[in-house]
Amino acid sequence: MKDRRETVSVPEGVDLDHPNAARVYDYFLGGTANWAIDRMLGDQLSAVVPIIRTGARVNREFLGRAVRYCLRQGITQFLDLGSGVPTVGNVHEVADAVDPDSRCVYVDREPVAVAHARVLIEDDGDPERHVVLHEDLRNVNEVWKRAVATGVLDPSRPVGLLMVSVLHFLDPQEQVSEVVAQYRSFLPSGSHLIISHATFDAVPEQERQQFQQAVELYHHSGNPAFPRPREVIADYFGDFPLVEPGLVWLPEWHVEDGPAKTSALLAGRPAACCFLGGIGVKP
- DSSP bridge pairs for 242: 280
Range of the domain at 121: 62-204+224-281
Question: Does a structural domain hold residue 1?
Answer: no
Question: Does a structural domain hold residue 143?
Answer: yes
Do 246 and 278 meet the contact criterion of CB atoms below 8 Å apart? yes
What distance in Å separates the CA atoms of residue 137 and residue 105, rounded to the nearest whole number? 12
Question: Does a structural domain hold residue 245?
Answer: yes
pLDDT in tens, 88-109: 789 999 999 999 999 999 999 9
Question: Does a structural domain hold residue 150?
Answer: yes
Question: Does a structural domain hold residue 41?
Answer: no
pLDDT in tens, 27-69: 999 888 788 999 999 999 999 999 999 999 999 999 999 999 9
Question: Does a structural domain hold residue 148?
Answer: yes
Q: Rounded to an integer, what is the distance from CA 123 to the centroid of its chain?
A: 22
Cis-peptide, bond into residue 245, ω within 30° of zero: yes
Question: Does a structural domain hold residue 33?
Answer: no
**What CATH number should be reported for the domain holding residue 235?**
3.40.50.150
Number of structural domains (the chain) is: 1
Mean pLDDT of the chain: 91
Question: Crossing angle for the helix pair 36-48 and 205-220, nearest 10 degrees?
Answer: 150
φ, ψ (nearest 5 deg) of residue 227: -60, 145
Question: Does a structural domain hold residue 81?
Answer: yes
What distance in Å separates the CA atoms of residue 263 and residue 60, rounded to the nearest whole number? 10
Cα separation values, 3 from 8, 87, 119, 168, 236, Å: 9, 11, 11, 29, 37
Model pLDDT, residue 13 = 54
pLDDT in tens, 211-220: 999 999 998 8
What distance in Å separates the CA atoms of residue 23 and residue 21, rounded to the nearest whole number? 5
Examine the pLDDT at 132 and tell me if it is beyond 80: yes
φ, ψ (nearest 5 deg) of residue 196: -125, 145
Model pLDDT, residue 76 = 98
Number of H-type helices and E-type strands within the chain? 9, 7
